[in-house]
Amino acid sequence: MSIRLYEEMVERSRHFLNISRYDVAAGRYDIALFHLEQAVQLALKAYLLKTFGDFPRVHSIKDLIELTENECLREVSEEMWYVINILEDAYIGGRYFIRRYGEREYSEAVKYVEEVFRCIGI
């Protein structure tokens, strides 16, 4: 495992979370949710790299969670399944379509991202 790559992925993941707050301040919930999806995706891939020595080149949060074999992540994701759907929609929609989101979706998504970070220790 590359420690440097792991650390870079974690730093970028945290950066995506932080930059989402600026997006919200600008009223861009669509971009904020896109950045939160990126935060989760990178965090999960960093965890897989650290735990198993590599990570797959997939983009589905659901697939990545299954690969982690992390019970905390599974429980949080089962409880907040609807947030994963919002994040994955924001990932696709943010690049190809116009989607509208608001404070409620963002607030729930931030809670989920913070729980993911807690579960994987970053």
* Residue range 6-22, pLDDT digits in tens: 999 999 999 999 999 99
Angle formed by the axes of helices 81-96 and 71-79, nearest 10°: 80
Answer positive or negative: Cα dihedral of 50, 52, 53, 56: negative
CATH of the domain at 28: 1.20.120.330
* Residue range 37-60, pLDDT digits in tens: 999 999 999 999 999 999 999 889
Q: Is the pLDDT of residue 92 over 90?
A: no
The tally of domains found in the chain comes to 1
State the residue range of the domain holding 31. Answer: 3-120
- What's the pLDDT band for 91 if we cut at 50, 70, 90? confident
Res 100: pLDDT: 84
- What's the pLDDT band for 71 if we cut at 50, 70, 90? very high
